[in-house]
Every structure is written in structure tokens, then in C-alpha cells.
A and B are shown apart, each in its own frame.
Chain A
Amino acid sequence: MKTLKYITLFAAISTSLLFVQCKDDDDNVIFQETCTDGIMNGEETGVDCGGPECAPCGQVIDFSGTYKQEDQMGRPGINTVFGTTGFKDAFNVTVPTAMQAAFQTKFQDRLLALNAGYTTNALGLDAATFTTVLSNDVLWLGKTGITTYFNGTEILTGRALSDDVIDVSLLLIFGGPDGSENPDLTSDGVPTNDVTFSSSFPYLAGPF
């Protein structure tokens, strides 16, 4: 319903701007003809080739080759906070299956260096358990229901744009079993982004 409304609205706007809106049998909605939309349109002489805008027909795009990992990220801030000099680079080129063995004790040392008084946190996790979870640097994503790092109710079921992941992290590192310890360190005082997010794709706000 909503999608239909959106498409209808968009069609109206597109028409008024004399853009071309194509809709083929495969339900491909093309917002503006391009050299990569998989359809022969505009002044193309073949599918996505020829004409004044696109590459000559017969040219094959090269996707060959081998690509080697240089950076990785699951949860926010893990390498930044728990990585220390000497193994930050190594962490970025370690696959998740190897992370816990390589980094859990290092993460635990770092946690206790940041907060020497750490016992457990608001999730009830002791230092070894907490750093075991974090050293496997993957983001949990719930197949159903609300997806959020923490929204007051749901815990670690994804990461939405507006989630205050820093305060969650600070609270779990410094806040103690009930979140009340080290009150000067459990919130950075920045609860939201400087720009509002969109509720529609691509969700992130336009650039400055």
C-alpha cells in the first residue's frame, strides 16, 4: 500500500520533470535510465551500452581477480576501544572464527585497564564472559522483531542508525552490575545524531 503510494507519487514527480520511468515485466523500477539498469533505454544501442552516454557495446566489465581483507567490523567501536597498540592491525585481518582465541584475553586485560573495579555489568556478564562475547566481533541481527543495539527493552538484536551505541558501551564497561557506578563515565552526553535520519531508503541523511 505504502509502496504503491510511493511509486505513484514518484511517477507523478518523474513525469512532471520529464524523466523516463520504466517498468518492465520483472517489476524493475528504474528511477532514471542509466548505463547500468539492465534495460536498453535512452539512446542506448544495446542493453546498457552504446549511444552518447554509455560505453561501446561488446565491452565486458572486468570482475576478475582476488581480493584480500584489510579491514573488518561487526559491533561498533570494538577495535577502537579494546584493540591496543600492537594488535589493532592484526584484529582487522582476523576472521571471526579465529578472533576469540587470538584476542579474548587481550580484550579482558584492556577492559580491566579501563575499569580496574569491573566486576559484572548491567547484562550480568563478568569480565571473561563479556570479553568473550565482544572478541567474536560480529553483530547479532534478529530475524524477527525490533532490531536495535539497545532501546531500553531489546538488547543486541541489530544496530539501527539512531542507536546510542556509545552510551551502551560506556554503561557496560563502566556502569557496574546495575549501571550506577562511575556516573561521570557512563554517558558521553551526545544522545542523538546532529541530523535527523529518514524513515525511508537509503535512511542515512544527505551529505553536508
Chain B
Amino acid sequence: MKKSKIFAVIGGIGVAVLSVFLISADHIDAPAIQGTTADITDFYAFQGENNGNFVFAANVQGLLAPGQPTTQAIFDETVLIEINIDNDNDLKEDLVIQAIKRGDSMYFIGPTGPATPGMDPLESTIATSTKRSVKISTKDDVQIAEKDGMKFFAGPREDPFFFDFNQYNAILAGTASSFNNPGADTFAGTNVLSIVVEVPKSMIPGGVAGVNQFAPNTPIYNVWVEAKRKI
């Protein structure tokens, strides 16, 4: 029942028919979100080429086959992508970086304090602070914007995730007892829509040592990404 429903969704939106029905790392991770324009597939946070910067990358709308499924995939103007940064280890965001599409561009707001309109912590408004933007890239027209020490990109990219997910599912289903070596990357040859932002570390104060027992002296931020739809 569940399987056939998901296959119908995959067929319906015209992406590649893959012999998987639950996709990791976060690709179509739960029934309500899978295959929608708010489906986060992956989130990365790392030090940039310039080690004074952080890079945040959030991918949505996974499993895009090359060609038309990729060229026709578009960011949704009703979906806000919000990168959350907790700098004092209370698991509440102290800073957010928001990204939302308007027209031919992706607008970025922040890092700035979170804009929560009411008591519901799941709800946000778009912060009123400075907006910076980049024209959304296509496969052949790659646009990068730089402003105030930040860099911005939005557009289709190769899915950086790699995993023999078919074999994992076979193991869970009891039809296989081990992984193969070498395995087969289930995500090879597929694309995602990416939002990448590079931020000077100086724009992100705080961080707390002692959070990560394996790096006890390193100040740590808690970071995560949320996809929010206009209500």
C-alpha cells in the first residue's frame, strides 16, 4: 500500500523511476514531505576554502534525472529554506539564514535573529533585515553573487550524497545479508536543487566548548535546516 503510493508519487512527478522507496540521507524521509518542493535531501556545514568562512549547503527536491526533470525543476516561492544556528547550546536558534525565491532570483536574509511571529516555534516570518540575492543558476548559466563577504548560489547541482541504498533496503527486507564491495551508489547520476551560502565566521558569534566530548576544546554551534511553507 505504502510502496505503491510512493511509486505513484514518483511516477507522477516524472522523476527517474528508481527501485527504492525510502531514500536517505533525508531524501523523501517521511510520507508527508516526500516528493514535495519542501523535501530537504541533505544538509552540509563546513569550513570554506577560506578558513575564516563557513559554508552551508541545503539541498531539496532530490532524485532529479538529467535532462528535462532537472531543467524543469524550480524552487518554490512558497517554501522558505531556513538555516538555523544555535550558538549557546540550548537547542534554540539564535541566528537564521533564510533563503526564498522571488522571480528569477534567490533572496538571502541573515545571519539575523529568528523572526517568529507568535508562540508556535514551527512558524517564521521573513526577517526584515538586509536582503542579498543571486540570480538562480541553470546548468549552463552558473551565477554566483558576492556581497559583504558572503557568497551565494542557488540552482541545480549533482547530488553529492552517495550510498548503496538499494542494498541497505535489501538487508532490511531480509533478502540480503551483507553489503557488496564495491557497492553501487544509488544516487549516482542524479541531481538536486542546491542552496549554498558562504558566510564569514565573524558574522556568527558564540559557540560553546564542551558540547562535543570528542572535541572538548572546540567551540561548537548546533546547526540544522528547516523547510517552511507559506500558510
B231 touches A68 (CB 8 A): yes
> When the two chains form their complex, are residues B224 and A76 in contact, meaning their CB atoms are under 8 A apart?
no
Q: Assess whether A26 is in contact with B148, with CB atoms less than 8 Å apart.
A: yes
Task: Decide if A37 is an interface residue (CB 8 Å cutoff).
Answer: yes
Q: Do residues B222 and A139 form an inter-chain contact, with CB atoms below 8 A?
A: yes
**Residues of A close to B49: CB separation below 8 A:** 2, 199-201
Query: Please, how many angstroms separate the alpha-carbon atoms of A158 and B207 in the complex?
Result: 13
User: Do A67 and B126 have beta carbons less than 8 Å apart?
Assistant: yes
Q: How far is the CA of A164 from the CA of B162 in the complex (A)?
A: 8
Contact of B46 among A77, A80, A123, A159 (CB under 8 A): A159
Q: Is B189 an interface residue (CB 8 A)?
A: yes
Which partner residue on chain A sits nearest B181 by CB separation?
A189
Task: Tell whether A93 is near chain B: CB-to-CB under 8 Å.
Answer: yes
Number of interface residues of B (CB under 8 A): 115
In the complex, whether A187 has a CB less than 8 A from a CB of chain B is yes
Q: Provide the bound-state CA to CA distance between A77 and B161, in Å.
A: 11
> A36-B105, A147-B47, A190-B163 are known contacts. Are A76 and B25 too (CB-CB below 8 A)?
yes
On chain A, the residues within 8 Å of B91 by CB distance are 95-97, 99, 136, 138
Question: Max chain A CB contacts within 10 Å: which of B24, B82, B184, B194?
Answer: B24
| Contact of B45 (CB < 8 Å), options: A35, A64, A70, A147 | A147
Contacts of A31 in B (CB 8 A): 143-146
A interface SS class: loop
Find out whether the CB atom of A80 lies under 8 angstroms from the CB atom of B144: no
Contact A89 B196, beta carbon cutoff 8 Å: no
Contact of A140 among B125, B198, B212 (CB under 8 A): B212
A141, B223: Cβ atoms closer than 8 Å: yes
Question: Which among A55, A96, A185 has the highest number of chain B CB atoms within 10 Å?
Answer: A96
Contact with B along A12-42 (1 / 0, CB 8 A): 0000000000000010111110111110000
Name the one of A28, A69, A197 contacting B122, with C-beta atoms under 8 angstroms. A69
B190 / chain A contacts, CB cutoff of 8 Å: 208
Task: Indicate whether A89 sits within 8 Å of B30 (C-beta atoms), given known contacts A3-B50, A67-B231.
Answer: yes
Would you call B158 and A206 a contact (CB within 8 A)? yes
Q: A31-B143, A74-B43, A136-B91 are in contact. Are A157 and B215 (CB under 8 A)?
A: yes
Encode A127-143 as 1/0 by CB contact (under 8 A) with B. Answer: 00000000011111111
Q: Does B3 contact A (CB under 8 A)?
A: no
Contacting pair B194 A204 (CB below 8 A)? yes
Kindly identify which residue among A71, A93, A161 contacts B44, using a CB–CB cutoff of 8 Å.
Answer: A161
Q: Whole-angstrom distance between the alpha carbons of A37 and B40 in the complex?
A: 27
Q: Chain B contacts of A137 at CB under 8 A?
A: 224
Closest B residue to A62 by beta carbon equals: B102
Contact of A206 among B134, B142, B227 (CB under 8 A): B142
**CA A187 to CA B211, docked complex, whole Å:** 28
Does residue A91 face the partner (Cβ distance < 8 Å to B)?
A: yes
Closest A-B pairs by Cβ, 9 of them:
A189-B183, A184-B178, A88-B30, A67-B228, A76-B25, A155-B214, A138-B222, A202-B153, A208-B66
Enumerate chain A interface residues (CB-CB to B < 8 A): 2-3, 26, 28-32, 34-38, 55, 61-74, 76-81, 83, 85, 88-89, 91-93, 95-97, 99, 123, 136-148, 154-161, 164-166, 184-185, 187-190, 192-195, 197, 199-208
Name 14 extra pairs, CB < 8 A, besides A96-B222, A142-B212.
Answer: A3-B50, A61-B103, A63-B126, A66-B124, A69-B227, A73-B40, A77-B25, A88-B31, A139-B223, A140-B211, A142-B215, A190-B184, A197-B160, A205-B160
